[in-house]
Amino acid sequence: MSSPVPPPRFDLAESFPETGEPAARAAQDLPGALALLTARRPRGGAEYGVALDALAAADGLDEPLDRHLAEHPDDTEARVVRAARVVRRAWELRGTEPGAQVGAERFDAFFALLARAEQDLVRVVVAEPADTAAWGLRLSTARGLALGTSEAGRRWRHLRAADAHDVRAQREYLQHLTPKWGGDWGRVDAFVGEVTAAAAPGSAEWALVPYAALTRWYDDHRAEGTSAMRWPEVVTGLDAAEQSFLAAPTPSRYEAVLAHTDFAVALGLAGKRGRSAAHFAQLGPSLAPGTWALGADHRSDLENIRASALAEGRRR
């Protein structure tokens, strides 16, 4: 009798327990937790980002952070953590419904939270212009506040000047360039081209190709089934990107989860079940929640591919 397929594990801190250490320590020792977080620099690096996410989600830190910042207003690390918590709360409040279904009152509260986070983030980036975590959060606030592609572009260029290969920030900026946030698909394609032109073999940046393809399919074509994911130009792009991604080991274990999830879902929808399964096998129980959600109505099919991949892995 075969054992059941493990449920998806979306929390990276759970997959990589060492990234949860700052959050685990924060309630008893906030300065110590902040020091642990700082030790995971470079800011915006994948491990730092996962640790920051865990701190952003931890309970009971708002008052200690406020007190700490009242005493240490120049502690930019604490400001980043406070802002990350507020940004997370803002997006949770907004939910994932289309804008038309979000009432004015909820939008007002959403904007107010993002504006509050901006107050901390601007102080961080002017004190430490190379803080990519703060710039990355500012890309998120800019999108929620609907500041437009001009301001998003300015923020992205500041971030890029510090680290052109920040995978999470690239995805955030790509969202700004889509039509629903004021851009167009031509700008998305150009941005993906710009990123991959500078990406090393094995880099998770190659997964921006499936991420962009999935985003476009989800926004414009999901009502038509999966045919748009099988268009020749889409498949050709996925093939080339996958080849470059697999050409060398991925330096970051955390970014690898993002990238493998992108390829697994995109190739699955494109009908390349075998190659999709290979990425699911690499992921094991881990999955990146954002891309998984893009699978939309086809998640049961993807779950089948994933189940067979994980079962095959166990038989070996």
Partner 1 sequence: MSVLRTEVDGVPTLFAERTDGHVTGGLVFRVGWADENLAVRGLTHVVAHLAMTGLVEDVHRYVDTHATYTQFRAQGTAQSVSHVLSGLCTAFSELPVDGLEPEKELVLAEADGRHRVPRPDALYRYGASSHGLCAYPETGVPAIGPDLVRVWAAEAFTRGNVVLWLSADRLPAGLRLPLPEGPRLPPPAGADSRTPTPAWYRSPDPDLLTVTGVVPRSPASVVFTDVLGAALHREVCEEHALSHAAGAVLTVRDADSAVVTVTADSHPGERAGVTGGFVDVLARLRWGALLDEEVAAAARAAADQVSRAAADHETVSARAVGELLGIPHPEPDEHAAALAAVGPDDVRACAEAFAASSLAGVADRGLGWAGWAAAPLSSPHELDGRTYPGRDGHGTALVVADEGVSVVGPGLRSTVRYADLVLMTSYADGGRHLVGGDGFGVEVEPTLFAIDGAALARIDEAVDLARVVRAPARAAQDLPQPRPAEPDPPAPVPPPAVPHAAPDLTPAASRPGWRDRLPRLGRRSS
For binding to partner 1 (CB under 8 A), which residues are involved?
111, 114-115, 118-119, 122-123, 125-129, 141-142, 145-151, 153-155, 157
> 9: which strand partners?
286
Q: Which is closer to partner 1, CB of 12 or CB of 125?
A: 125
Task: Please report how close the Cβ of residue 153 comes to partner 1 at its closest, in angstroms.
Answer: 6
Q: Would you call 41 helix, strand, or coil by DSSP?
A: coil
Residues 42/48, Cβ–Cβ less than 8 Å: yes
Q: Which is closer to partner 1, CB of 125 or CB of 213?
A: 125
Q: Which is closer to partner 1, CB of 12 or CB of 83?
A: 83
Burial of 227 (0-12, 13-18, 19+ CB in 10 A): exposed
Q: Which is closer to partner 1, CB of 13 or CB of 114?
A: 114
How many C-alpha atoms does 233 have within 13 Å on its Cβ side?
A: 5
Burial of 185 (0-12, 13-18, 19+ CB in 10 A): middle
Task: Please report how close the Cβ of residue 62 comes to partner 1 at its closest, in angstroms.
Answer: 20
Residues 50/13, Cβ–Cβ less than 8 Å: yes
Task: Please report how close the Cβ of residue 152 comes to partner 1 at its closest, in angstroms.
Answer: 8
Task: Please report how close the Cβ of residue 311 comes to partner 1 at its closest, in angstroms.
Answer: 50
Structure tokens belonging to residue 60: 């009971």
Task: Please report how close the Cβ of residue 125 comes to partner 1 at its closest, in angstroms.
Answer: 7
Q: Which is closer to partner 1, CB of 25 or CB of 176?
A: 176
DSSP state of 9: B
